[in-house]
Chains A and B, each alone.
Chain A
Amino acid sequence: MERRDAVVIGAGLNGLVAAAYLARAGLDVLVLDRASSPGGIALPYEIAPGFVLPRYTLGSGGLPPRIAADLDLARHGLRFIRAEGSVACFPGGAYVASYRDGIVHRRELARHSRRDADAWTRYRRDMLRAARGLAPLLTRAAKAPFGGLFAGLRAQLALADRIAALPPADLAAMLRLWTMSASDYLDDYFEAPEIKAHLAAAALIGGTLGPSSPMSASRLVWPWLSETGDAMGGAPDTLMPQGGTIALLQALTAAVEAGGGTIRLEAEVTDVLIKDGRVRGVELANGETIGAGAVLSGLDVKRSFLSLFRWKDLPDGLVERVGRVRMKGVAAKVNIALDAMPDFPGLPEGCPSLGGGLRLAGTIPAMDRAFADWRERMPPRDPVIDVLIPSITDPSLAPPGRHVLSALVQFVPGELHDGTWTVERRDALRDLVTARLAEVSPGIGKHMLACEVLLPGDIEDEVGLTGGDLAYGEATLDQFFANRPFPGQGGASTPLRNFYLCSPSAHPGPFVMGAPGANAAAEVLTALKGRG
């Protein structure tokens, strides 16, 4: 039987990051994926010849610089492009853009409210304070209380000490951020409805909370996590890999192989081998078995436990606990190829923020209604649409002069209250999205060479992501930190010895790209070192 130090199931971004870390540490790593090319949910594909975009995700955001540096990805050809914030367009023609430059950003806010332009200072301070407090918690494993005997206890006491030592004002700030709704939280700073809607919409994408849902305020912090020291006082920027996710995947693949790891495609893992409560290896669809000292799963938590094991092999209660994890699709993906740059007459010519994304949002009450539709499992009537035209900042993604457009339609239920997504309803959704796009860019329909809609159910069917939930499990506080992947089990290690989760189902979830993979690799290495 073939034997490896570690086997990673799934060649997605996090699986490759974990494998690259392990290979760099000298482990003999094998990455297995059932698809014919790496990528997982970040899979890049050609919607039309020469038009490349990620099939299921929006494709914004890059790895944190720390991971890129650790894995020496620059040597493997990875470059990042900095894009300005983003633009939100509102019905009626108003828009709010975000800029990196503090002076320019304030001038932009002043178009809506002179007072709010100045309130930005305090908002930025509070966001950066929260992000700086949060960042160290995200880049290391969150231990479940009493997880490991003394280490867990010590970690818990240290956390309790830190919280107890917070001055009352800081504790109040922490509570506000973790319990309030985004809409109430923003009311404390801003008065202009467009500014509040712009900030709230950016925070809601991919989540299962509406702007007025309690606890949605904490999501406002996430764009700030990547804010670097050379910040210019404006909005946080987005870092995008040059060449898109393809380039990112190529660099990660090269990093795995440079460390001596192997990536085997078209090799589907059907079972994880378990003996005496310990994971020993994996079995492939062709019957082949591979022994492994550690098995890392890049699949979501439900699929990892419920489809890779025989349930009778799992410890008591695990099936039930995993079954209760909430994973619901909230977004549909629309991929479009364009034969020309669409025209946005409502935006000033040459607006640099367009490169960071365009959001078709309503006011906060409209977003609440869209969220309510999703809860009622209604087909969306007025969804929030997050648009990225990655070929603006990176022309290599489309033939010269042409563009690809990626759109994430927020608040699309996976299942409808009255039946299935019929062909007519799919077409209606596509028409709704193109009509909304045409509102801000009249004539965009004439430029479309191809258009494709992927519902949450399609995403589940194609890549096997439970519910088509791109967040790999709702990222609310009750399913976060020590409660991610499931309550009482924080971090990458699982109740099964030698079995780890390296997908965003584990801490820190979907917020920091690559971090679940890096955390899982760190836990594997710590465990191996402890064993000698």
Chain B
Amino acid sequence: MTPDTLPRAEEEQMDALHDTAAPANAPDPADERAEVDPALFEEEGSEPPFARAVRTTPLHLETAAESRTNRWTAWNGYTVPRVLTDLGDEYRALRGAAALMDLSPLVKYRISGRDALAYLERLCAVSVATLDIDRLRHVMFCEGSGMVLGDGLLFRLGADDYRLVTEETHLAWLIDSAEGFRVRVEDVSATLAVLSLQGPLSALLLAELGIGDAAMLEPFAARWIALGGMPVYASRSGATGDLGYELWCDAEDAPHVWRALMAKGAAFGLRPAGFALRELARLEAGYPRAGRDYLSAFAAIDPADALPPAAIWPHFVPDPAKGLFNGGTALRSMQGEAPARRLVRLAVQGLEPVRFAAISAGGAPVGLATSAGFSPALGANIALALLDERAVRSGDLSVLAERRAGLSVGESRLPARILAGPVFSHPRRFAVPAPFRP
């Protein structure tokens, strides 16, 4: 960690002379070992870990001011709104105009150094060699056994500079895999806020804020913009199946960006939304969430709960052109054989929201619904469900729904069917230029 260009004594002397200079533990570009920069997490030292079970995001004051329901939920150790006003209203805003969500609890890693690309090629199960600067793609990474550890979005910020955004923490695996690579892995979660602007009017809103060429941004591309006077890295991404942007900015700048968007957007129907809408939107778009729809192989106490990528993402096939990567040998030998269990999109008959978990085929249990909700787009209950492979092929699925009325419980067996594609996926999400009207 000590720069090898300066003798230690001399360095200390310089620090003593310039108290305001960068702290001694500032990242040194010459040192390329995998490590964590402790300076990034200083704010956590002030209170003991048990003082607060959940922390607040940089946008907490903004979301709290918008909350009419006072319904909160814990996500990755942070408190975020579950519903700010009404889930139905928030959903209508998302699908009819635009919704703004605080996704700051996402885990963000900065991966840099001259071997960053080689390292990421080794880490990820999909090829990242073709990723251009200011582009992003969905990646997943596996243990040596070929079982999935996690997935996320990989941004290429510069030639040797990447950002990996995940749902859960993976620092131990990222550092352990970095052995032998000249690469630096830093957890930058606390310093980086994320705002998600989603919906058909999201491009129009950015244009109204003076970023007219945001519409020209291609899907899975990103660029720096100025929003509310703040530098923001805007990517055309989001797990809603619709046009949308994710805005990455410094934690201190985030409230200004939020206020700028809300001030301009309210007239266009922009509504702030909570975690429940994020879940519903990604369910309609058919995206599984780590820790909910599948378990990291490191968290799967029952070995059968660890899944290969093909069980989670049906189109996954190991790229034959890709070289050595973690889990590659296992995945290539697994290729062609169907996984024992598979995540599928399910629609359950019924015109009102119901609760269910166990899924059966011909009376025998064959799996469970990992996420479920009532989809206004389909007018039916939908779910992501982990099913035995045989049940996926045979069909004839049903769920046992419980409905409580007064002091009695009504049970009904509702037929379920597997959906071929996502419930909601609008063509405008890929349109260039992005349309300005719904």
- A and B found bound together: yes
Q: How far is the CA of A106 from the CA of B169 in the complex (A)?
A: 10
Residues of B within 8 A of A352 (CB): 50
Interface residues of B in 239-297 (CB under 8 A from A): 296
Tell me the smallest distance from the CB of B201 to a CB of chain A, in Å.
Answer: 36
Q: How far is the CA of A103 from the CA of B79 in the complex (A)?
A: 12
Instruction: State whether B44 touches A107 (Cβ < 8 A).
Output: yes
Instruction: State whether B41 touches A169 (Cβ < 8 A).
Output: no
Residues of A within 8 A of B172 (CB): 115-116, 118-119, 121-122
Residues of B within 8 A of A106 (CB): 77, 169
Residues of A within 8 A of B44 (CB): 107, 110-111
Tell me the smallest distance from the CB of B57 to a CB of chain A, in Å.
Answer: 14
Residues of B within 8 A of A348 (CB): 48, 50-51
Provide the B202-233 mask, 1 if CB < 8 A to any CB of A, else 0: 00000000000000000000000000000000
Tell me the smallest distance from the CB of A104 to a CB of chain B, in Å.
Answer: 5
Q: Contacts A103-B77, A110-B44, A351-B48 known; A129 to B298 CB distance under 8 Å?
A: no
Does A128 sit within 8 A of B, measured CB to CB? yes
Provide the B40-73 mask, 1 if CB < 8 A to any CB of A, else 0: 0100110011110110000000000000000000
Q: Contacts A110-B41, A170-B303 known; A115 to B36 CB distance under 8 Å?
A: yes
Q: How far is the CA of A97 from the CA of B36 in the complex (A)?
A: 22
Instruction: State whether B171 touches A99 (Cβ < 8 A).
Output: no
Residues of A within 8 A of B145 (CB): 169
Does B159 sit within 8 A of A, measured CB to CB? no
Q: Say which size band chain A's interface belongs to.
A: 20 to 34
Interface residues of A in 225-278 (CB under 8 A from B): none
Does B110 sit within 8 A of A, measured CB to CB? no
Of the candidates B48, B171, B172, B303, the one having the most CB atoms from chain A within 10 angstroms of its own CB is: B172
Q: How far is the CA of A394 from the CA of B194 in the complex (A)?
A: 45
Instruction: State whether B169 touches A118 (Cβ < 8 A).
Output: yes
Instruction: State whether A99 touches B50 (Cβ < 8 A).
Output: yes
Does A76 sit within 8 A of B, measured CB to CB? no
Which residue of A103, A114, A122, A169 contacts B54 across the interface (Cβ within 8 Å)?
A103
Which residue of A104, A114, A117, A128 contacts B53 across the interface (Cβ within 8 Å)?
A104
Q: How far is the CA of A91 from the CA of B365 in the complex (A)?
A: 55
Instruction: State whether B53 touches A125 (Cβ < 8 A).
Output: no
Tell me the smallest distance from the CB of B209 to a CB of chain A, in Å.
Answer: 36
Interface residues of A in 66-118 (CB under 8 A from B): 97, 99, 101, 103-108, 110-111, 114-118
Instruction: State whether A118 touches B173 (Cβ < 8 A).
Output: yes
Does A375 sit within 8 A of B, measured CB to CB? no
Q: Which residue of A lies closest to B47 (CB)?
A: A348
Instruction: State whether B49 touches A108 (Cβ < 8 A).
Output: yes
Residues of A within 8 A of B296 (CB): 121
Residues of A within 8 A of B76 (CB): 103
Interface residues of A in 190-228 (CB under 8 A from B): none
Of the candidates A104, A117, A128, A132, the one having the most CB atoms from chain B within 10 angstroms of its own CB is: A104
Residues of B within 8 A of A119 (CB): 172
Q: Contacts A115-B171, A115-B172, A118-B171 known; A125 to B187 CB distance under 8 Å?
A: no
Does B324 sit within 8 A of A, measured CB to CB? no
Residues of B within 8 A of A125 (CB): 298-301
Does B175 sit within 8 A of A, measured CB to CB? yes
Residues of A within 8 A of B48 (CB): 348-349, 351
Q: Contacts A103-B53, A104-B50 known; A114 to B301 CB distance under 8 Å?
A: no
Q: How far is the CA of A167 from the CA of B145 in the complex (A)?
A: 12
Q: How far is the CA of A101 from the CA of B301 in the complex (A)?
A: 18
Q: Contacts A99-B49, A104-B53, A351-B50 known; A115 to B301 CB distance under 8 Å?
A: no
Instruction: State whether B301 touches A132 (Cβ < 8 A).
Output: yes
Q: How far is the CA of A124 from the CA of B298 in the complex (A)?
A: 9
Q: Contacts A111-B45, A111-B49, A351-B48 known; A128 to B301 CB distance under 8 Å?
A: yes
Residues of B within 8 A of A353 (CB): 50
Q: How far is the CA of A99 from the CA of B77 in the complex (A)?
A: 14
Q: How far is the CA of A169 from the CA of B172 in the complex (A)?
A: 20
Q: How far is the CA of A349 from the CA of B47 in the complex (A)?
A: 10
Does B182 sit within 8 A of A, measured CB to CB? no
Does B170 sit within 8 A of A, measured CB to CB? yes
Instruction: State whether B303 touches A114 (Cβ < 8 A).
Output: no
Q: Which residue of A lies closest to B50 (CB)?
A: A104
Residues of A within 8 A of B299 (CB): 121, 124-125
Q: How far is the CA of A104 from the CA of B55 in the complex (A)?
A: 10
Tell me the smallest distance from the CB of A22 to a CB of chain B, in Å.
Answer: 36
Beyond known contacts A97-B49, A114-B187: 5 more, CB 8 A cutoff: A97-B50, A108-B49, A115-B172, A115-B175, A121-B298
Q: Report which A residues bind B (CB closer than 8 A).
A: 97, 99, 101, 103-108, 110-111, 114-119, 121-122, 124-125, 128-129, 132, 167, 169-170, 348-353
A-B contact pairs, 10 of them (CB 8 A): A99-B49, A101-B50, A103-B77, A104-B49, A110-B44, A118-B173, A121-B172, A122-B172, A125-B299, A349-B48
Q: Which 5 A-B pairs have the closest CB atoms?
A: A348-B48, A107-B49, A119-B172, A118-B172, A103-B77
